[in-house]
Amino acid sequence: MKFNRVTSVFVITLLSILQLGLAESSEDSIEEGDKEVEAIFGEIDNLIPKDIMEKFRENCKDMMEKVEGDSEEMKFMMIAPKMFKELIKIKTSITDESKRKKFEELLEKLYNSAKKGIDETSELNDEKKQKLKKDLDEAYNSRNNPEVNSKTADQETDSEAANPETNSKTTN
């Protein structure tokens, strides 16, 4: 599958987040992880209508711009729970049951990778890691709860921007 510029930027950012343990990882495992995530998003692109995926990518970009952080990786990590909520809402656009099941499997793979990235990062203290993992768990576990999915990630980002406790500035 051929990636356009927006997709490439998004995948590269995602790969950076999922591979936060870069200093501890070998080049081979990094390349292997990159290929795995690229394959996951390639499969997601095949399951979701292009216009919906473009909107998802734009939403992610907008969320990244609203979050304060020291690095792109940290910003992306902070939006990961909101990104999962958006992906879960996208699931409703999949009408074919086999494609929907495949999408669920891909979400689980991304979720596990994101949790691993949070655990391995040195940019967050333990308290912030636990909060982020809790938020990620809630977002991922909301996949079967339509009431939770009715609130958009943009609404959450706007309300969190007004709440200084959710600011992503970290202390190590």
Instruction: Say what percent of the chain tops pLDDT 90.
Output: 8
33 vs 110: CA distance, rounded Å: 11
Question: pLDDT at position 5, please?
Answer: 53
DSSP per-residue letters across the chain = ----HHHHHHHHHHHHHHTTTTTTS-HHHHHHHHHHHHHHHHHHHHHS-HHHHHHHHHHHHHHHHHS--SSHHHHHHHHHHHHHHHHHHHGGG--SHHHHHHHHHHHHHHHHHHHHHHHH-SSS-HHHHHHHHHHHHHHHHGGG-TTGGGS-HHHHHHHHHT-GGG------
In the structure, what pLDDT confidence band is assigned to residue 137 with cuts at 50, 70 and 90? very high
Taking alpha carbons only, the member of 136, 112, 133, 135 closest to residue 124 is 133
Does residue 109 carry a pLDDT above 80? yes
Mean pLDDT (whole number) for 105-128 = 84
146 vs 102: CA distance, rounded Å: 19
In the structure, what pLDDT confidence band is assigned to residue 1 with cuts at 50, 70 and 90? very low
Highest mean pLDDT among 24-33, 87-96, 130-139, 151-160: 130-139
Arithmetic mean of pLDDT over the chain: 70
Question: pLDDT at position 36, please?
Answer: 63
Highest mean pLDDT among 132-136, 140-144, 159-163, 164-168: 132-136
Question: pLDDT at position 27, please?
Answer: 43
- Each domain of the chain, given as residue ranges in start order, spans 5-166
Mean pLDDT (whole number) for 47-62 = 86
Mean pLDDT (whole number) for 16-29 = 45
